[in-house]
Chains A and B, each alone.
Chain A
Amino acid sequence: MRTIDDLELNAYIDGELSPDQQAELLQSMRNDPELARDACALAQLKAQLRLAYADPPKPERRGVSKARASWQAIAAGFLLLAVGLVSGWMLHANVPGQGVESHRFVVLDPEGRGQAPAVADNAETRIVFHLTDPDQAVAGELLDDVEAMLAVYESDGHPLRIEVVGHSEGLDLLRERLSRHKERIHELAEQYANLTFVACQNTINRLKVERGIEVKLIPDAEVIDSGVSHVVKRQKQGWSYIRV
């Protein structure tokens, strides 16, 4: 029987050996109690280390400034991201010339950089996402971003309202049998009263007439007559419009 070296014994403890190597080592331990006790001691040390670092001491507050500075840096990053994200969308959104106040997002910057806010700080930001893309992976990403925005605005105390309008093939997101995100939508709708999911009745009717499908919506979806006229109405009311 060949000798087991320290490196191998350590690798065994760390789960780095192949099944064959493990079997060989276990066999060796049966014949060598000292080796077995060594393995035991190493395993004990490993467990002891985990215990020792399970709960490291957190930094005490070094004066409010430092702690707040770091928190704000993160928050600012998120907010600036939200700004960039939304302006990015706006550039690519099919905006029919009115209704979008792109500079309203500048108020997000807590450092006061960039343009001066064009609207008062307490003005509510209102965004309607017009979802027509059938790809629910895209819809999932939309939900990610909506959730992040809701969280950021909420923590920052900025009022925000978001509507997600499911229209045409985008309605699938709100259909009981087809939605791949209904639990997620339910959680979001429960958590954020300022988030609404809206389904287009025209699309539902068309599916019934043209394809004989009886659409059942998820419980969190509200129904409006026409997706198109709804988003037009929202734009006239000054909502920012983003087509997805």
Chain B
Amino acid sequence: MGDNNITLFGRIGRQRKLRAQICAERDRLYRIAWSWCHDSHLADDLVQETLARALAKIDSLREESRLQVWLTQILANLYRDLFRRVQPETGLEVDILPAQGGPEDATDRSQLIALTREAIERLKDDQRQVLTLVDIAEFSYADTAAILSVPVGTVMSRLSRARQSMREILEKQGIGRAEVVPLRRPR
């Protein structure tokens, strides 16, 4: 086998491995997509389209170690485009109804989950994306900035505001009222 063939073989082998890795990212991407839109069908379509686009332009991935960032970038771009077209205003039209119940139920696990998701829904879109990328997908600030094409400083300020809002919303829902300290510490 000549050198050219070995190179070809290596390139095909690399692509093959990458394709398998890309498909293995499906669940992770779905979790991110769902946390953004809270619509399982939309999330599924977004992931499907993300994978298709990634597979189509697999050669544009320069560093394999950046695969997750690269994929999430594609997802974020898709989401942004979709959002622009379909939902010009902030806020989610969600397909799940948050469970009803008073604060006394808030210790219940599923209730906590529902209330947390409900609080996330009320965030502004850009805040929700940053918060979920950092907390759920566990991306670094730098990677989050790269995914959303914004400066790191913007990530940090959106994150801080998002958590502030979350705590306010959750307090109103009765979660953590007893144990969470006042929101604004006097300076």
Contacts and interface: CB of A to CB of B under 8 A. Distances in A.
Contact of B44 (A51, A53, A59, A145): A59
Interface in A81-109: 81, 85, 88-89, 92
Contacts of B150: none
B55 interface: yes
Given A7-B156, A41-B181, A85-B12, A16 B116 contact: no
A154 interface: no
A183 to B, nearest CB: 18
Interface string A35-74: 1011001101110111111001111101000000010011
B8 A145 contact: no
Nearest to B23: A74
Contact of B13 (A3, A60, A145): A145
Contacts of A38: 181, 185
B131 interface: yes
Contacts of A144: 13, 16-17, 20
A145 B16 contact: yes
Interface in B87-134: 96, 109, 112-113, 116-117, 120, 131-132, 134
A11 B156 contact: yes
A138 interface: yes
Contacts of B109: 51
A126 interface: no
B112 A138 contact: no
By size class, the interface of chain A is 35 or more
A162 to B, nearest CB: 15
B17 A45 contact: no
B5 A92 contact: yes
Nearest to B144: A14
Contacts of A145: 12-13, 16
Contacts of B41: 59, 62
B25 to A, nearest CB: 13
Interface string A1-42: 001001100110010100000000000000000110110011
10 contacts: A10-B159, A37-B181, A41-B179, A51-B112, A52-B113, A53-B132, A74-B51, A135-B6, A141-B14, A144-B20
